[in-house]
Amino acid sequence: MTDQIPVLDRAVLAELRESVGGDEEFIVDLAATYVAEGGDHIAQMQVAASAGDAAAIVRPAHTLKSSSAALGAMRLSEIARGIEMAGRAGDSAGLVQLVADARATWDETLRDMATEGLTQ
Amino acid sequence: MTDVALIVDDSAVNRQLLARHLASIGIDAREAGDGKAALAALGEADGQIGVVLLDVVMPEMDGYETLAAIKADESLRNLPVIMISGVDELDSVVRCIRLGATDYLPKPFNPTILAARVRASLAEKRMRDLEAEHAARQAELLETIERQKEELSRFLSPQVAALVATPEGQALLAGHRREATAVFCDLRGFTAFSDQAEPEEVLGLLREYHAAMGALIIEHGGTLEHFAGDGMMVFFNDPVPQPDHVERAVRMAVAMREMFGGMAAKWARLGFELGLGVGIATGYATLGRIGFEGRYDYGMVGTAVIIASRLSSAAEANQILLNPRAHAAVDQLVEVVEVGDLTLKGFARPVPTVNVVALRELAAAATTA
């Protein structure tokens, strides 16, 4: 169902660019921050999922949801939202699969960001 | 001074983006990745931070705990806190506002909304700071006034101290004429005593004398103008009108003479002969503030004052001398002995003077009213 959501929403990205007055240097810098911390969040979620620790997955999922949305990575944001909700509900059964989806979408996101010129 | 905001969010992306938006509206940003770091930053900033942008979900110490800690800290209580939240977190926003948060900022950030909310919070903070500053200054002022009143009442007679605090007091202080009774008293034998006695004995006697006489002045409602060593001047009928002002003056003088008799007996055993001499005169006088900037007395000026002073000097030990006007007012109250026409310095005509020997029975006094 998340397949309907764009990996990288160009409209959100356009809005972000406009909100900083078209400062491309800042956008690239922000994207670098996102890549660095997003990678950490994915790794933390993988650890929590394989340990079946629903509570520990909430925070990285929550933060990834939020920072992804800021950069227009809407599909990953939505997947992270699902993981956060599952974590809050204490539902650890589907976590491994959800995190695998997140991981795959993360890779797609990075590819799209590179295409968009956001990352080197 | 540049406004400073503290961004508290565990997402570096969010911090970076918020800092950028704040910079574009001229606000400096400091950043903290969790609640503990935020409290540390607030402590270090020493009041420079004007607003906090606070995320809810954070490691270590979350938004609720951080908010509660800020609101529990006396020095941070007035600091506006804007919650950062996603649209799906409105429940937690409501909870935070109940905990004392000022506002909330939805994610993703809209720079216009961000600017409006941050500026509104900063303005509110400035207002609260001004209010707090004003209240503190007001409290300080009140405290100063109270302290000065207390300080003042130690130097002034109770009547004058009370007068200073009232609006009518201003007019009275400015000066007015009225009939009043002046009482001067000083000690016979004091010069010899202070010459021979040890300084500690002299001060000890004066303390005892002032304490005893002071109590009698207050008891009879006299206004003490001044103490000067063994001498003192008291007047009646001002600033508080006293229809029986002469009677009060005479009763006070008689009580003083009795009181001093006991003290003198003690000193006599040590070989010092001391006696009280009192002069009382009634007449019209000018009363009000006398002196110069920084050192004013509430005083009485007029012929009666000079006569009372001269009579006090002329009085022998244990004499209470009255001028004719004072005598006439208490004629029925007192047993007197004529002293005769006294020639007083500065007065062309001699003053017929009487010495009060005793008060008549109170019953007899009542019929004179």
Both tokens of B164, joined, read 């200073």
pLDDT value for B19: 95
Residues in chain B: 369
pLDDT band, very low/low/confident/very high, at B157 (cuts 50, 70, 90) = low
pLDDT in tens, B287-300: 988 878 777 778 89
DSSP B134-162: HHHHHHHHHHHHHHHHHHHHHHS-HHHHH
Average pLDDT in the B63-88 region? 88
Determine the Cα angle at B19 with ends B15 and B23, to 5°: 175
The closest CB to that of A37, out of B12, B24, B86, belongs to: B12
- Residue A1, helix vs strand vs coil: coil
Interface test with A, best of B8, B13, B61 (most A CBs within 10 A): B13
Q: In this complex, do A70 and B111 lie within 8 Å of one another by their Cβ atoms?
A: no
Subunit contact B20:A26, Cβ cutoff 8 A: yes
B149: pLDDT strictly greater than 60: yes
CB pair distance less than 8 Å for B16 and A29? yes
- The predicted model scores a pTM of 0.59
With 0-12 / 13-18 / 19 or more C-beta atoms within 10 angstroms meaning exposed / middle / buried, residue A89 is: exposed
CA A69 to chain B, closest CA, distance in angstroms equals: 7
pLDDT in tens, chain A (120 residues): 677 899 999 999 999 999 899 999 999 999 999 999 999 999 999 999 999 999 999 999 999 999 999 999 999 999 999 999 999 998 888 899 999 999 999 999 999 999 988 886
pLDDT score at B156: 62
Mean pLDDT across B205-232: 88
Residue A76, min C-alpha distance to chain B (Å): 15
Cβ-defined contact of B16 to A19 (cutoff 8 Å): no
Q: How far is B48 from chain A (nearest CA, A)?
A: 26
| Interacting residues of B263 by C-beta distance below 8 A, sequence separation 6+ | B205, B208, B209, B212, B274
What is the residue-averaged pLDDT of chain B? 87
Residue pLDDT, tens place only, B78-117? 899 999 887 677 788 888 888 889 888 888 888 888 999 9
| Average pLDDT score over residue span B26-36 | 93
Q: Is B86 on the interface with A (CB under 8 A)?
A: yes
User: Is B200 an interface residue toward A (CB < 8 Å)?
Assistant: no
Length of chain A counted residue by residue:
120
Does the beta-carbon distance from A37 to B108 stay under 8 Å? Answer: no
**E strand residue ranges, B196-241:** 223-228, 231-236
Residue B363's pLDDT is 43
Question: What's the count of helices (H) and strands (E) in chain B, helices before strands?
Answer: 13, 13
Is there a contact between A70 and B110 if contact means CB atoms under 8 Å apart?
A: no
Which residue is closest to B62 within chain A, CA to CA?
A59
CB contact under 8 A, A70 and B86: no
The share of chain B scoring above pLDDT 70, in percent, equals 94
> Chain A: which residues have CB within 8 Å of chain B?
12, 16, 19-21, 26, 29-30, 33-34, 36-37, 58-59, 62-63, 65-67, 69-71, 81
Determine what percent of chain A falls in helix, strand and coil, rounding each to the nearest 5.
Answer: 80, 0, 20
Euclidean distance between CA atoms B124 and B114, whole angstroms = 15
How far apart are alpha carbons B239 and B223 in whole angstroms?
A: 8
CB B16 to CB A30 under 8 A? yes
Summarize pLDDT for B254-288 with one digit per residue, the tens: 999 999 998 888 888 888 889 999 999 999 999 98
Q: Which residue of B has its CA nearest to A27?
A: B17
Q: How much is the pLDDT for B295?
A: 76
- Residue B14 touches chain A, beta carbons under 8 Å: yes
Give the nearest partner residue to A30 out of B13, B107, B110, using CB atoms. B13
Give the least confident one: A70-74, B37-41, B141-145.
B141-145
Residues A69, B24: C-beta atoms closer than 8 Å: no
Do B107 and A70 lie within an 8 Å CB cutoff?
yes
Task: Express each pLDDT in A80-112 by its tens digit.
Answer: 999 999 999 988 888 999 999 999 999 999 999
B245 has a pLDDT exceeding 60: yes
Measured at the CA of A33, the angle between CA A31 and CA A35, to 5 degrees, comes to 70
Yes or no, beta carbons of B13 and A21 under 8 Å apart: no
